[in-house]
Homo-oligomer: A and B are copies of this chain.
Amino acid sequence: MTAELTAHQLIDKHRPTLDQALETIRTRAYWSPHPEHPKAYGENGSLSAADGKAAFDALLGGRMDLGQPGTDDWVGGEVSPYGPALGITYPHADIDVLLTAMRAGMRAWRDAGAELRAATCLEILARISARTHEFAHAVMHTSGQAFMMAFQAGGPHAQDRGLEAVAYAYAEQSRTPGTAEWTKPQGKRDPLALTKQFTPVPRGIALVIGCNTFPTWNGYPGLFASLATGNAVLVKPHPRAVLPLALTVQVAREVLAEAGFDPNLVALAPERPGEGIAKTLAVRPEIKIIDYTGSTAFGDWLEANARQAQVYTEKAGVNTVVVESTDDYQGMLANLAFSLSLYSGQMCTTPQNLLIPRDGITTDAGHRTYDEVVADLAAAVSGLLGDDARANALLGALVNPDVKARLEAASGLGEVALPSREIGNPDFPDAVVRTPLIVKLDGAKPDDEAAYRSECFGPVSFAVAVDSAADAVELLRRTVRDKGAMTVGAYTTSEEVAQAVEEACLEECAQLSLNLTGGVYVNQTAAFSDFHGSGGNPAANSALCDGAFVANRFRVVEVRREN
């Protein structure tokens, strides 16, 4: 193949960005090459808001032909959580044909080397970035996120996580030199001398199993980590969130082809309703890596059964916030209210259990009883979401009927401190928009334990009365150990309590945010700086992104010769 994009062009264009990413994963300071503001787009080849919307609208009701081999059918039944059916169909694959085709280009991709692979991945990300406005609508109308969140989390933040994975992958592959001269002295005899070549080689075909709520943000780390380490990548999207990953695959195939590589190194595997193709694909011998975000049940199944593959899972967890004391009561309430409301609590990082001493807490506004704290938090949420337009912009829509059913059932779990409110969306009358429910539970009551010890995914939080700070820390510990947690938060002015919470997080391996009262929320993490998950508790077996996330996606083969 002749390449429209030469290796030199790609590397010249993207090496500075790669270097900055490599530097930032070491310093973990703030950095992003992907603008967060919608108005930053529309120049230098990127789609403006209007063009992005038009591009999205043009996709609706159409067939997205990716040019994949082995296409035996066209499938797709996405319905926006905001109401409209997308009406888009995608190529369904004859798996035997597609997997065979995907292997064909792997040798050339391997031989390209780590730097050119990284530059090619960065070109893919740059083109995705240029279409951020189009992706924003695609993410919004599959995940139910409000537009601004879909734009940011589905666009620049997801692209950051992809770039971060490329940087880690490049760093890991370049730790070993391409060649080495080894000369061992032998006293008076001639030294032993060998020339050694080291080549990073891929594992095989990687499978990315996408999720409904964050198709790009959760999909990009595994996709780009595997691709940058030389593997082919098959993307199995969630049936309700195909479009964002189909667009991603489309861009990847286009760039690979222009760079002279086989576009089949990246392919899409959407499924027919009820086909359950993930289970079939996951145990295929060609599949050597799996990245999965979703339920604990299927994540555990993958870990137990896809034994031929390296399996990276992000599953369910129960996130806890310890509320013990604060010197900024209003800031705490505002911060928590936002965390509970954002995307209707449908983030894997949203707090679920708020542990509050039953004797109340000390604040800068005086002592507050347990009931007062809960009431004040309920009021803060109500205030935040009092305006319907603002509520819609924060909440988005419930992603699927299961969340709605769970929310409705949850009000029966205990005394309702804040009922969930139905909100109308003037633009999308069919959208199911609900404010968060807060239920009071007693940490000492065995009947309540079943509720707060299970993940209740959606806009549901439990204000759990505990005996003391020590009791809260002990419950935090048990919850993380047994159920896992993507995030832990704590509010305390006591150095002793802070240390106890910190020690619990260190021992149970959970990421902790302490005393957040401003514009950073416990449920948000920033690429290059924050780890998403720890990989050390039951919520996830890997963290985004670290050395362990990339190091086993390739192996190094050594060829040594005498000089």
Residues of A in contact with B (beta carbons under 8 Å apart): 25-30, 107, 110, 172, 175-177, 180-186, 192, 194, 196, 198-199, 201, 203, 303-304, 307, 502-503, 505-507, 509-520, 526, 529-531, 534-536, 543, 546-548, 551-552, 555-562
Contact = CB atoms under 8 A, between A and B. Distances in A.
B509 A201 contact: yes
Nearest to A106: B507
Contacts of A534: 555-557
A180 B529 contact: yes
B556 A506 contact: no
Nearest to A194: B520
Contacts of A551: 546-548, 551
Contacts of A198: 28
Contacts of A184: 30, 526
A26 B556 contact: no
Q: Is the interface of A mostly helix, strand, loop or mixed?
A: mixed
A182 B506 contact: no
A509 B562 contact: no
A168 B335 CA distance: 41
B536 A201 contact: yes
A531 B304 CA distance: 29
Given A28-B182, A30-B185, A530-B560, 11 more contacts: A27-B177, A30-B182, A180-B529, A186-B519, A196-B529, A201-B509, A303-B307, A506-B557, A515-B561, A547-B551, A548-B548
Contact of A110 (B176, B506, B529, B559): B506
A158 to B, nearest CB: 17
Nearest to A171: B175
A476 to B, nearest CB: 14
Contacts of A29: 180-183
Contacts of A505: 557, 559
Contacts of A25: 175
27 contacts: A27-B180, A28-B176, A28-B180, A29-B182, A107-B507, A110-B506, A172-B547, A175-B547, A182-B526, A192-B518, A196-B530, A201-B506, A201-B509, A303-B307, A505-B559, A509-B555, A509-B557, A513-B559, A513-B561, A514-B559, A514-B561, A520-B560, A530-B558, A534-B557, A536-B555, A536-B557, A543-B555
Given A307-B304, A519-B192, A511 B557 contact: yes
Contacts of A194: 520
Contacts of A183: 29-30
Cβ-closest 4 pairs across A and B: A536-B555, A548-B551, A28-B180, A547-B551
B201 A558 contact: no
Contacts of A503: 107
A17 to B, nearest CB: 18
A172 B25 CA distance: 13
A189 B75 CA distance: 47
Nearest to A519: B192
Nearest to A183: B30
Contact of A543 (B547, B556, B561): B556
A307 to B, nearest CB: 7
A502 to B, nearest CB: 6
A516 B562 contact: yes
B196 A28 contact: yes
A451 B33 CA distance: 59
Nearest to A522: B560
B561 A529 contact: no
A443 to B, nearest CB: 24
Contact of A557 (B28, B199, B510): B510
Nearest to A203: B536
B27 A520 contact: no
Contacts of A196: 28, 529-530
A175 B547 CA distance: 9
A318 B535 CA distance: 35
Given A307-B303, A543-B556, A26 B562 contact: no
A513 B560 contact: yes
Contacts of A176: 26, 28, 546
A552 B529 CA distance: 19
Contacts of A172: 547
A507 B201 contact: yes
B562 A199 contact: no
Nearest to A490: B559
A109 to B, nearest CB: 12
Contacts of A181: 29
A487 to B, nearest CB: 10
Nearest to A531: B558
A517 B25 CA distance: 45
Contacts of A110: 506
Contact of A546 (B199, B546, B556): B556
A293 B548 CA distance: 22
A557 B512 contact: yes
Nearest to A185: B30
Nearest to A335: B562
A308 to B, nearest CB: 11
Residue among A28, A201, A557 with max Cβ neighbours from chain B (10 Å): A557
Given A175-B26, A201-B506, A203-B536, A518 B562 contact: yes
